C-alpha cells in the first residue's frame, strides 16, 4: 500500500526544508506500533516527491495562499476521517497506536508529530519560513 504524507517544516531555503523533512520522515519509518508487543512497522519505506522523476516535487512555502488552501483541505479531510472513527455506528475504529490508525495521520511537523489540533496546524502554516514537503510512504 502507498500513501502520500506531508511534513510542514521550517527552512531558510527549499534545500534546508527538504533536509528537515528527511529528518521528520526518517523518524516515522522505523516506528513500531505499541500494540501486541510493537512488532508491526507502521511504514516500510519512503521517498520524497523530489526524488520521483515523473512527479511534481510538491515542495512549496506555506506563505503561498494556494498551498495553504490545499493543505487546509488535506488537514480537514484527515481530521474528518479520524473523527468518523469516533462517530462510527458500525463499531469499526482502528485502535490508537496501531499501524492502521497511525497511517491515517497525513500531516507531520519537523519532530515527526502528527498535526491534529487546529492550533498546531495554524501555527505551522502561518509561519513564513515553513515549507510543505510531500513523501510517498509504503507498507
Q: What is the pLDDT along the chain (139 residues), one digit of tens a residue?
A: 899 999 999 999 999 999 999 999 988 765 555 555 555 567 888 889 888 766 678 899 999 999 999 999 999 999 998 888 765 565 555 565 566 777 889 999 999 999 999 999 999 999 889 999 999 998 8
Give the cell for residue 111. Answer: 519532530
CA atoms of 111 and 128, how far apart (whole Å): 18
pTM across the whole model: 0.83
Listed residue (17, 83, 96, 10) closest to 50, CA to CA: 17
Instruction: Give the model's pLDDT for residue 111.
Output: 93
Identify the CA nearest to 42 among candidates 58, 50, 31, 34. Answer: 31
Per-residue cell: 48: 520524497
C-alpha cell at 54: 515523473
CB-based contact 139:39 (threshold 8 Å)? no
The CA distance from 31 to 23, in Å, is: 13
Closest alpha carbon to 3 in 100, 109, 80: 100
Amino acid at each position: 500500500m502507498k500513501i502520500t504524507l506531508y511534513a510542514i517544516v521550517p527552512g531558510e531555503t527549499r534545500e534546508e526544508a527538504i533536509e528537515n523533512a528527511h529528518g521528520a520522515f526518517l523518524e516515522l519509518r522505523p516506528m513500531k506500533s505499541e500494540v501486541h508487543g510493537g512488532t508491526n512497522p507502521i511504514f516500510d519505506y519512503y521517498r520524497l516527491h523530489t526524488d520521483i522523476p515523473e512527479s511534481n516535487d510538491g515542495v512549496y512555502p506555506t506563505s503561498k495562499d494556494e498551498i495553504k488552501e490545499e493543505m487546509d483541505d488535506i488537514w480537514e479531510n484527515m481530521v474528518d476521517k479520524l473523527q468518523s472513527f469516533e462517530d462510527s455506528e458500525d463499531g469499526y475504529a482502528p485502535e490508537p497506536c496501531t499501524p492502521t490508525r497511525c497511517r491515517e495521520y497525513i500531516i507531520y511537523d519537523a519532530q515527526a508529530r502528527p498535526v491534529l489540533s487546529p492550533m498546531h496546524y495554524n501555527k505551522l502554516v502561518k509561519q513564513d519560513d515553513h515549507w510543505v514537503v510531500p513523501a510517498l510512504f509504503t507498507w
